[in-house]
Structure 1
Amino acid sequence: MSLKLPKPLVSASWLLSHLNDKNLIVLDCTIPKVTAKKTLIEQKKQIKGALFFDIKNVFSDIKAPFPNTALSPQEFELKAQELGINKSSIIVCYDDLGVYSSPRVWWLFQLMGFKNIAVLNGGLPKWKEEKFPIENQQKNNLSKGNFKVDYQPQKITYTKEVLSSLEDKNILIADARSKGRFYTTEPEPRKEVKGGHIPNSVSFPFGNILKDGLVKPKEDLLKIYKELNPDEKELVFTCGTGITASILALGAAITNQKSYAVYDGSWTEWGSTEGLPIRNLIWKI
């Protein structure tokens, strides 16, 4: 019987103890931060046996006008099969920055109806800190998997739906970007994108639910999400391009929020589309 992951977050010690399980697949989901400075590229290291999950070039629609646009269910199913993923797989995803892009992959699989997946808390930095086995990045000859999509459209939302929901008091839009970007006291990293935020949205930086590269304990998250959403409204998470909004979605899953979705185009689409309302007053933080 295949192992079932009890929660959407696992520790480095848990992963080490299951690293040789037959159906386990470890996915390296690393992407660089859009605000990061380019540095000398060293030999890429990974958790022993990991496969690289290419968010940018394989698991996003590269023909779409905005970054990190989710694939169609049919395309995702094919790409996941090509990566050797099966219906019986147990997936743990991680990234080199701790908890940054790996929740995006966790959310993509949730969107596609696959639940036996978790994020490695602390990612590669925590794994290295524990001195657990790493290796140079490998090229793998993979057998095609039998992964199947069971699409869950309620987990994603688009500009048209967000626009129509702005006056809906049962919906709360939470923005994972920094307060500086939300309140326009700092510029957007993409020059073609206006500054500001979606009207009636609230600032909820993804760092609120992290500490020292780890997702905060569940008891802390329960307080944080209760303060964010005391009336248990439907949550819509947005950010720059849908990456860090997925961190908030992970926190929502850990705290058993009733209803939440990720705005796939996020601020890059909203802030570069003519005719959409924008709040861009500079507020004191």
Structure 2
Amino acid sequence: MSLKIKHPLVSVDWLKDNLEDENLIILDCTIPKVTANTIVTEEKTQIRGTVFFDIKNSFSDKNAALPNTVLSPKEFEEKAQELGIHKEAILVCYDDLGIYSSPRVWWMFQLMGFKNVAVLDGGLPAWKAKNFPIQQPEVHQPKKGNFKVAYQSEKLKYTKDVLESINDKNVLIVDARSNGRFYGTAAEPRKDLKSGHIPNSVSLPFGEILENGKMKSDVELTNIFSDFKNKTTLIFTCGSGITAAILALGATIAEVENVAVYDGSWTEWGSTDNLPIAL
């Protein structure tokens, strides 16, 4: 009988124990953080048997004006099949930073209606800390999978949706950026992007639901998100749609329903003329 994901997070011990399951597919969802002052000296390694899930180049719309724009359902289905993902797959998403970009991939699969997927709590650092097996990255040529999309459109919000939600007391917009960026006291990392936040949104920096590279406990997350449970819909936003998914993961663990991500996030809102901005 195939494994079923019962919780949005799995531990490195769980993954190690199930490493030989024939339906397990481990996805390295790392987005490299490269700045002018960053020199990468450590050689790239992966969990044994890992497939690289290329968020930037394969699973974002390259023709879109904004970064990290999610693919259409048809394109996503085709790309997932090319990675060898099938209907019976057990997907575990991780990244090199602990928990950063892996929830974005977990959310993508939620959006596409696939539930048997989890994030590896603590990611590669937690795996290495246990001295579990790693390898050098390999180029995989898997057999084409039969993955099928069952698109959940309510999990994706656009600027029009967010604008209409600003004064809706049943909807709460939650911003994963830092408090400084939210209140306009810290500059945006993207040049020429306005400062501030969406009116009537609230600030919940994604780091506040993490601890030492892992998600906080289920009890802690339930307490953090308890004030949000009286809302019909939660719309999570951030800079470009990546860290908003961390909040979506936390809310799901806390059993908050009707969770969505504003894919364009502040990159779109802060660069679009005639949209209201609060400080």
TM over 0.5: yes
Alignment-derived partner of residue 80 in structure 2:
80
Equivalent residues in 2 for 1:39-58, closer than 5 Å: 39-40=39-40, 42-58=42-58
Question: TM-score, normalised on structure 2?
Answer: 0.97
1:167 alignment partner AA:
N
- Residues 23-63 of structure 1: CA deviation (Å, up to 9, x unaligned): 00000000034778431354311000100000001000011
Alignment-derived partner of residue 167 in structure 1:
167
Quick one: structure 1 residues 211 and 200, their matched pair in 2 at CA, closer, same or farther if it must change by over 3 Å?
same
Residues in 2 aligned to 1:268 and 1:232: alpha-carbon distance in whole angstroms: 25
Alignment-derived partner of residue 99 in structure 1:
99
Equivalent residues in 2 for 1:133-152, closer than 5 Å: 133-152=133-152
Residues in 2 aligned to 1:56 and 1:277: alpha-carbon distance in whole angstroms: 29
- Structure 2: unaligned runs, 5 residues or longer: none
1:9 alignment partner AA:
L
- Structure 1: unaligned runs, 5 residues or longer: 281-285
- In the TM superposition, residue 2 of structure 1 has moved relative to its aligned partner by 1.4
The CA RMSD measured in Å over matched residues stands at: 1.3
Matched position secondary structure for 2:224: helix
Matched position secondary structure for 1:253: helix
- How many residue pairs are counted as aligned between the two chains? 279
Alignment-derived partner of residue 67 in structure 2:
67
Quick one: structure 1 residues 127 and 233, their matched pair in 2 at CA, closer, same or farther if it must change by over 3 Å?
same
- In the TM superposition, residue 258 of structure 1 has moved relative to its aligned partner by 2.1
- In the TM superposition, residue 275 of structure 1 has moved relative to its aligned partner by 0.9
Quick one: structure 1 residues 135 and 34, their matched pair in 2 at CA, closer, same or farther if it must change by over 3 Å?
closer
Report if aligned partners of 2:45, 2:134 keep a CA contact under 8 Å in 1: yes
Report if aligned partners of 2:171, 2:231 keep a CA contact under 8 Å in 1: no
- Residues 132-166 of structure 1: CA deviation (Å, up to 9, x unaligned): 11111111121110000000001110000100111
Mapped pair 1:256 → 2:258: no
Report if aligned partners of 2:73, 2:151 keep a CA contact under 8 Å in 1: yes
1:265 alignment partner AA:
G
Residues in 2 aligned to 1:195 and 1:95: alpha-carbon distance in whole angstroms: 29
Alignment-derived partner of residue 272 in structure 1:
271
1:262 alignment partner AA:
V
Residues in 1 aligned to 2:192 and 2:4: alpha-carbon distance in whole angstroms: 44
Alignment-derived partner of residue 128 in structure 1:
128
1:13 alignment partner AA:
D
Residues in 2 aligned to 1:185 and 1:130: alpha-carbon distance in whole angstroms: 40
2:4 alignment partner AA:
K
Residues in 2 aligned to 1:20 and 1:268: alpha-carbon distance in whole angstroms: 41
Alignment-derived partner of residue 195 in structure 1:
195
Alignment-derived partner of residue 11 in structure 1:
11
Residues in 1 aligned to 2:259 and 2:36: alpha-carbon distance in whole angstroms: 29
- In the TM superposition, residue 193 of structure 1 has moved relative to its aligned partner by 1.3
Residues in 2 aligned to 1:153 and 1:211: alpha-carbon distance in whole angstroms: 31
Report if aligned partners of 2:229, 2:256 keep a CA contact under 8 Å in 1: no
Quick one: structure 1 residues 230 and 106, their matched pair in 2 at CA, closer, same or farther if it must change by over 3 Å?
closer
1:251 alignment partner AA:
G
Residues in 1 aligned to 2:37 and 2:86: alpha-carbon distance in whole angstroms: 37
Report if aligned partners of 1:232, 1:257 keep a CA contact under 8 Å in 2: no
Quick one: structure 1 residues 36 and 200, their matched pair in 2 at CA, closer, same or farther if it must change by over 3 Å?
farther
Report if aligned partners of 1:242, 1:264 keep a CA contact under 8 Å in 2: yes
Report if aligned partners of 1:100, 1:244 keep a CA contact under 8 Å in 2: yes
Question: TM-score, normalised on structure 1?
Answer: 0.95
Counting aligned pairs with the same residue, the percent is: 63
Structure 1: which 4+ aligned runs deviate by more than 3 Å? 33-37
Equivalent residues in 2 for 1:21-40, closer than 5 Å: 21-33=21-33, 37-40=37-40
Report if aligned partners of 1:30, 1:95 keep a CA contact under 8 Å in 2: yes
Equivalent residues in 2 for 1:100-119, closer than 5 Å: 100-119=100-119
Residues in 1 aligned to 2:258 and 2:268: alpha-carbon distance in whole angstroms: 23
Quick one: structure 1 residues 190 and 40, their matched pair in 2 at CA, closer, same or farther if it must change by over 3 Å?
same
Report if aligned partners of 1:16, 1:132 keep a CA contact under 8 Å in 2: yes
